[in-house]
Amino acid sequence: MKRIFKVGVTVTLTALLTAPVAYAWTADYYWPHTRGQTLQITYKWGDRLDDVPNSVWRKVFTNGMNQWTTKTGNKVRFSESSSSSNILNTYDDDDGNYGICYRWTHWLTGKLTKFEAYGNVNTTAGVSDTFRQSVATHELGHGLGLGHSDQVAVMNTDRDRNRIYVPQTDDVNGILSMYP
């Protein structure tokens, strides 16, 4: 009995030590997923994105989704659907945040069931589209289940948003760990 336990621990430790390191990974929030399959996420545009000043947010959210798909080797794909419960939108508040993402989980399984990602038009007024894309890509990362990171990552809250606006190695490793 002791020998079986030791083998199990050794195999587990070996697997942990050889797996890609991802500091952005949050084990509590992830979408139901079949191993080896592409994670398909639907979304719909929020009502505020029809305003001309907010239309830039459509572009940066679209760029962010394309970057997540490309950087993960198509392990994640987004598609627009008017019946989706996932919403991409903007809000206008002097709350000090550049964006925010709300996530809902199933009460029993704890798996993600819905997200709403928002860019803040108030705190991002006068910034570059690259900065906004960094915000959009970050909030989409939360929608995928990632938490914050202290590494060079789009999920790092202290990143230079004009330089880091696409998923970095740590972000990608997080997604690949969650959705193998």
**CATH number assigned to the domain comprising residue 63:** 3.40.390.10
C-alpha dihedral, 127 to 170 to 143 to 31, nearest 10° = 170
pTM: 0.85
User: What is the pLDDT at residue 20?
Assistant: 46
User: What is the pLDDT at residue 55?
Assistant: 81
- Percent of residues, the chain, with pLDDT higher than 90: 72
**β-bridge partners, 105:** 112
User: What is the pLDDT at residue 24?
Assistant: 52
**Which of the pair, 165 or 54, is modelled with greater confidence?**
165
Lowest mean pLDDT among 7-21, 77-91, 120-134, 136-150: 7-21
Q: Taking residues 119-129, what's their average pLDDT?
A: 92
User: What is the pLDDT at residue 109?
Assistant: 86
pLDDT tens, position by position, 54-80? 689 999 999 999 999 999 999 999 999
For residue 89, what are the domain limits? Answer: 2-178
The end-to-end CA distance of the chain, in Å, is: 32
Total domains, the chain? 1
Helix (H) or strand (E) holding 78, with range, is strand 76-80
Please enumerate in sequence order all residues whose Cβ is within 8 A of that of 94, keeping only pairs 6 or more positions apart, or say none: 122, 123
